């Protein structure tokens, strides 16, 4: 009987002598790459750098615009805050001057317009009630003036004995506005005024007064040296050779009453011309 040899599967898979074994799959794994790796070219790098430069310039301009806008907003807010504070202070001073009329001060008007020089700017002088219990500082003298492009407020205690009966408004103005130190009026030293800067960059200051009985606005320049209220009665008495406090003639009393009733300021209009923000107009009421 002939023996038959049965080859196992493992033995069949083994290569025999003289047979050819394919090594292509292994060659593909171990063989080096035939082509070189491709990177960025010089032109591509230049384009990327140019785009980054353009973006940087745009971002810088946007940031610069934001910073400039912030500076303008901060500056405008500061100017608006200073303007609001100045107008609020003026409104409070004018309202507090109305109660001074009840004291019937014959030597001084609660509100008047003056000039330090014939061609100088018009200033606003007023007497206000400070609210203090001390009689020496109960009434304050307040002056609003324009000096060297700056709106200033001067204030200090007002004493009736410091005002001379025959003193002119111009003399009192030169004593109070001409210098920040104490002046002399009628041989009596007046208290020094404390000057407070309110607004800067003011090109011009214009004021008008509302005359209650006349129902019209009058330029403040035309009211310089004009007496109002109780001082008009005293002025008419002096013009009639009658001392204040004595009995005047019926004609002089009637003239003084006519002058007093025809000159009562119940409103003030202030126009500020700013050098960088145009013209600002504000109307204030005096009668509380």
What are the tens digits of pLDDT across the range 51-87? 999 999 889 988 888 999 999 999 889 988 999 999 9
Mean pLDDT of the chain: 73
* Residue 175 burial class via C-beta count within 10 angstroms: exposed 0-12, middle 13-18, buried 19 and up: buried
For residues 214 and 106, which has the higher predicted lDDT (pLDDT)? 214
Which residues are paired to 202 by β-bridges? 274
Q: Give residue 88's pLDDT band: very low, low, confident or very high (50, 70, 90).
A: very high
pTM of the full structure: 0.62
- The pLDDT assigned to 177 comes to 47
Q: How far is residue 55's CA from residue 248's CA, in Å, rounded to a whole number?
A: 89
- The pLDDT assigned to 256 comes to 45
Q: Where are the domains of the chain?
A: 76-205
CB-CB contact of 199 with 147 (8 Å) = no
Q: Is 48 helix (H, G, I), strand (E, B) or coil?
A: helix
φ/ψ bin of 105: left (φ > 0), alpha (ψ from -120 to 50), beta (otherwise): beta
For residues 242 and 64, which has the higher predicted lDDT (pLDDT)? 64
Q: At what angle do helices 229-239 and 250-262 cross, to 10 degrees?
A: 150
CA dihedral 114, 216, 257, 234 (to 10 degrees): 0
């Amino acid at each position: 009987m002939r023996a038959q040899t049965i080859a196992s599967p493992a033995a069949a898979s083994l290569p025999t002598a003289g047979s050819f074994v394919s090594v292509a799959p292994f060659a593909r794994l171990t063989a080096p790459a035939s082509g070189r790796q491709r990177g960025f070219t010089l032109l591509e790098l230049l384009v990327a750098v140019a785009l980054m430069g353009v973006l940087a310039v745009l971002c810088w301009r946007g940031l610069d615009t934001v910073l400039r806008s912030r500076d303008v907003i901060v500056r405008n807010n500061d100017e608006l805050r200073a303007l609001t504070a100045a107008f609020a202070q003026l409104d409070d001073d004018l309202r507090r001057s109305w109660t001074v009329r009840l004291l019937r001060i014959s030597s001084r008007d609660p509100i008047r317009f003056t000039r330090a020089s014939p061609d100088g700017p018009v200033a606003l002088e007023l007497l206000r009630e400070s609210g203090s219990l001390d009689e020496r500082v109960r009434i304050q003298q307040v002056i609003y003036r324009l000096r060297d492009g700056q709106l200033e407020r001067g204030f200090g205690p007002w004493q009736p004995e410091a005002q001379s009966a025959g003193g002119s408004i111009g003399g009192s103005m030169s004593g109070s506005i001409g210098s920040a130190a104490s002046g002399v009026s009628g041989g009596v030293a007046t208290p020094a005024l404390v000057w407070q800067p309110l607004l800067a960059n003011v090109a011009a200051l214009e004021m008008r007064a509302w005359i209650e009985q006349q129902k019209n606005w009058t330029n403040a320049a035309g009211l310089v040296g004009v007496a109002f209220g109780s001082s008009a009665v005293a002025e008419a008495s002096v013009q009639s050779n009658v001392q204040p406090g004595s009995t005047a003639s019926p004609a002089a009393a009637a003239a003084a009453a006519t002058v007093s009733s025809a000159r009562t300021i119940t409103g003030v209009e202030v126009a500020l011309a700013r050098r960088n923000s145009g013209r600002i107009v504000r109307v204030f009421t005096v009668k509380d």
